[in-house]
Structure 1
Amino acid sequence: MNTIAAPARFLQVPASLLASVRTAVVGDREPMEAVTVLRQLGYELGEEVYGALQERVQRDFAGVSWAHLDPAEFWRAAASFFSDRGWGTLEFRDLHPAVGALELAGWVEAEAGGGPRGSHLSTGLFTALLERLAGGGMAVMEVPSGTADRTRLLFGRGDVLGQVYEGIRTGQPVEAALAAL
């Protein structure tokens, strides 16, 4: 029997819930285990966000599938989607033919505290979302943004981000690691 999934339901909760979730996830876990759990929670959330964002794009663009939007239109719709839900400001940057960036300002998770630093839930969320958009094979990695009030997520194929990670791990700035691709 083929069933149609019900549309994702969203509710408003205080932003402080993220800090509580992060604190609860950390519990007595090792830091890397906590990061893994937070990313998995984000990934599962991203599956739900995918459907809601798809509905939003179809509504905003009179039934046009996002596959037919140019990237600038899609990222404007995505930015509006997240902003309207209180996440913060999202801006897409095309850094390299194989790597894009999401610049997150006033991002609620980054401000949440509780648990390991970083936007691990958002990293998982955008991994799921971008994998669905691209049909698989996408990875997302948080990198230094250069300012305390911004979060920067790079995305691309896993092997490409692995090369960027290696450059950063050996002391290269993000821009130099990207230029070495």
Structure 2
Amino acid sequence: MSPVSSTQPRTVALPVEFFTGLRLSALAESGPTAVLPVDAIRDAGYAAGAALYGHFANWLAEQGEAHPDKLSDERFPWLLEAFFHGIGWGRVELRPLSDAVMALDVSEWGEATDAAGGCLVTTGLFAGFFGRLAEAPISVLEVDGAQQGPGRSRFLLGSVDVMGYVWEAMERGIAYDRAAASA
């Protein structure tokens, strides 16, 4: 067996039940009336997402494709879906909602269940992944989580300022698609 290269990204496979276990464990540690340590879980997802970007770049090279920041706009969504599906996360579909906001729909997604709390790891994962791609902070907001059904959810991606605007509009009762269109 050859030693693991320190420059080669490493991954591990976990069963999808990991996400439920993480959520339940965090609740048990916090106590029944405490708030779930959402930020800590998202931060862990963020770190993983930034690292996962490196895996994506390596995977693209293995496929004979350009580096992520050099991919054409036409090929990127297809390759993104093939990558995430191939590593077992599920299917992703990226589409613009406006000039400033992208929607990322996931299906067959391991973390997307009908449980309360949403996809905390995934929210951080996408922020880290797309932030590394954009070379700028990206904010990710999960919308229509449980309403989409088991294994499905929708995320909005945009700059921190734009997503702050969308969030504030949603708090005032404006639908996220309308808020994104006016951002």
Tell me the TM-score range normalised by the shorter chain: 0.7 to 0.9
Unpaired runs of at least 5, structure 1:
none
2:148, 2:114 → 1: CA distance?
A: 17
Note closer, same or farther for the CA distance 1:143–1:42 as it changes in structure 2 (3 Å cut): same
1:126, 1:26 → 2: CA distance?
A: 23
Deviation at 1:110, TM superposition (A): 1.0
1:118, 1:97 → 2: CA distance?
A: 26
Match of 2:95 in 1: 93
2:139 match: secondary structure: strand
1:170, 1:8 → 2: CA distance?
A: 43
Deviation at 1:35, TM superposition (A): 1.1
Deviation at 1:117, TM superposition (A): 1.9
- The answer to whether the Cα contact below 8 Å between 1:16 and 1:112 also exists between their aligned partners in 2 is no
- The answer to whether the Cα contact below 8 Å between 2:157 and 2:163 also exists between their aligned partners in 1 is yes
Match of 2:16 in 1: 15
Q: Which residue identity is paired with 2:179?
A: A
Map 1:19-98 to 2 at 5 A: 19-29=20-30, 30-31=34-35, 33-60=36-63, 62=64, 64-98=66-100
Q: Which residue identity is paired with 1:128?
A: G
Count, aligned residues: 174
Q: Which residue identity is paired with 1:173?
A: A
The CA RMSD over aligned residues, in Å, is 2.0
TM-score calculated relative to the size of structure 1: 0.87
Match of 1:121 in 2: 121
TM-score calculated relative to the size of structure 2: 0.86
Q: Quick one: percent identity of the two aligned structures? A: 29
1:72, 1:82 → 2: CA distance?
A: 17
Q: Which residue identity is paired with 1:165?
A: W
Deviation at 1:7, TM superposition (A): 1.9
- The answer to whether the Cα contact below 8 Å between 1:89 and 1:104 also exists between their aligned partners in 2 is yes
- The answer to whether the Cα contact below 8 Å between 2:127 and 2:137 also exists between their aligned partners in 1 is no
Deviation at 1:65, TM superposition (A): 1.7
2:6, 2:162 → 1: CA distance?
A: 34
> Could you report, residue by residue, the CA deviation over 1:28-63 in whole angstroms, capped at 9, with x for unpaired residues?
4332x5211110110111122111011111222x25
